[in-house]
Structure 1
Amino acid sequence: MTINIGLTGWGDHPDIHEQDTGSRHKLSSYAAHFPVVELDSCFYSIMSPEQIRNWDHQTPNNFSFVVKAYQAFTGHDRQTYTRKEIKSMFQSFQQQINPLIESGKLNTILFQFPPWFDLRRKHIQRLKFIREQFQSYPIAIEFRNRSWYQEHIKADTINFLKEDEWIHTICDEPQAGQASIPVVPEITHDKQSLIRFHGRNVYGWNQSGQENWREVRFLYNYNDEELKSWRDRVQNLSQQVEQLTILFNNNSGHHAYANAKRFQHLLGINYTGLNAKQIDLFSDQ
């Protein structure tokens, strides 16, 4: 049983990077603090394997990446593609992440679906199609529409994910209507599970499309009681899987780093095998 705690992205964390001399060192210095990171860049574009390999080389052997699936796969771009076009993009995406497969650093591919991806037959068919194209890959799913977790439906949703070997993403997020989901602490894959902490900013969550909405949405600082309320839940979940990955996404106000470190302390976790910290390079020892 392994619990890996990290952040979504490595570039915007002043508490980590104040010792950096340049942006090229940011992932390397991040990997001195955490054993996992969410790679968001792949959501916005399909990148070259060389770029992925470069990032791979900046991290230690026991590091892993949660790769966010390209936005065309989840429908965020609101474009329509032929089956041939989307299959071609799937292949390009898979080639892109090959370096992580080769190094054993692919944690999972995260398919985060938009709020309008609700429970309906065509969306279930889309999930089955994706699973068929990614048969040999660990893939996680995150819903952003509450219809998948209606009381009379929730058990069927969980069973569907189990049958198709999706890794269920458990979320802590604002309870802000249909475009948010409740905490559903269910494991659907015996090897892995994923938890993402988005904060609890109800006002910000519903500001999609407004100016600076991304910054407002994830502006939240978890207090100790909120983190402690997750401690027993995480310890229980970790007994059901080989690897539990926890990502803090509440970084609009740069709170994710401190929250993740505090939660690591509450769980009594001390990571080994990370990169050397930058400050150690200038110490007198």
Structure 2
Amino acid sequence: MIKIGLTGWGDHPSIYRTNSTRRDKLFDYSSHFPIVELDTSFYAIPSQQNIEKWVNETPESFKFVVKAYQGMTGHLRDDNPYETRSEMFEAFRQCANAFQSADKLAMILVQFPPWFDCSAKNVQYIRYVKQQLGDFPIAIEFRNRTWYSTDRKHETIRFLKELGFIHTVCDEPQAGVGSVPFVAEATTDKALVRIHGRNVYGWRNSGSTENWREVRFLYDYNDEELTDLANKIRILEKLCKEVYILFNNNSGHHAADNAKTLQRMLNLDFDGLSPKQLDFFEGEF
């Protein structure tokens, strides 16, 4: 089974009704896609009130891929608002449990930064993450190529499989050590594919300009590239039961259209979506 979605639901104008408000966007989104990446949890662990609201606004079968808080993945380095690591993980566990209790949690996405290389220290930290979040399905995403070097790739996959982590397959610019290749391997009955675009310039110049986030994920996949992705995803589907695909190339609002094109290429129909409500006067004539 393959499910397709986007990172976040608040910035995809092509899928909203013309009369939608900001409060309608999640409902509108869930009429098109069965999954979404909750990326706001990377910047701040959401309140129980917000989680309850999101759960209630989505169909019964809708799932969230909840991104791990940046303090848990080392992005904050020493600038962490939580007094202790234990306190931080406990706050995030409460967040994840709220989604899981509502049967809305697809997985937790733990995305490590580019400087998180394949080293004994970092292997031990991944084991610590497992200890802290072991009650939840966890996907690991690397942004450092050393995890997939010729002499370590097999051990990386074996390690993830041994600990029961979901492997995150990435399509991204091939821009040196701070990027990873597309490795179509599954380590559990689920696999996660995150599609970041192929903007090599934006990837290499990350953080060098004020609007680097906009440049980094500015990319529109053409049909040939999406056909190639579709073929790779069909191969990956044979290795596990569920493949979750998330498009993250949305700086130019390309993610939704690229996702819809891939959906057509894979001949997918998603059941249990929110109803598509007609705009005012639509269908009247």
Normalised TM-score (structure 1): 0.95
**Cα deviation, residue 53, structure 1:** 1.0
Unaligned segments of structure 1, at least 5 residues: none
Paired residues of 2:17 and 2:28 also in contact (CA < 8 A): no
1:254 aligned onto 2:273: no
**Cα deviation, residue 19, structure 1:** 2.1
Distance 2:134 2:90 in 1: 13
1:142 aligned onto 2:128: no
Aligned residues: CA RMSD = 1.6
1:214 aligned partner? 213
Unaligned segments of structure 2, at least 5 residues: none
Percent of aligned pairs sharing the same letter: 52
CA shift digits 1:121-150 (9 cap, x unpaired): 110110000001111110001000001110
Amino acid at match of 1:107: A
Paired residues of 2:113 and 2:144 also in contact (CA < 8 A): yes
**Cα deviation, residue 27, structure 1:** 0.4
2:191 aligned partner? 193
Distance 1:9 1:241 in 2: 25
Name the SS of the counterpart of 1:6 in structure 2.
Answer: strand
CA shift digits 1:67-125 (9 cap, x unpaired): 000000000011177x9811111111111232211121100100000000001111011
1:48 aligned onto 2:56: no
Paired residues of 1:168 and 1:193 also in contact (CA < 8 A): yes
**Cα deviation, residue 21, structure 1:** 3.0
Name the SS of the counterpart of 1:97 in structure 2.
Answer: helix
CA shift digits 1:1-24 (9 cap, x unpaired): x21100000000110124243101
CA shift digits 1:249-281 (9 cap, x unpaired): 000000000000000000000112100113267
1:122 aligned partner? 121
Q: Within 5 Å, give how 1:59-78 maps onto structure 2.
A: 59-78=58-77
1:241 aligned onto 2:240: yes
Paired residues of 2:219 and 2:252 also in contact (CA < 8 A): yes
Q: Which moved more, 1:223-232 or 1:247-256?
A: 223-232
Aligned residues: 282
1:89 aligned partner? 88
Name the SS of the counterpart of 2:26 in structure 1.
Answer: helix
1:204 aligned onto 2:202: yes
Distance 2:63 2:18 in 1: 23
Moved over 6 A (4+): none
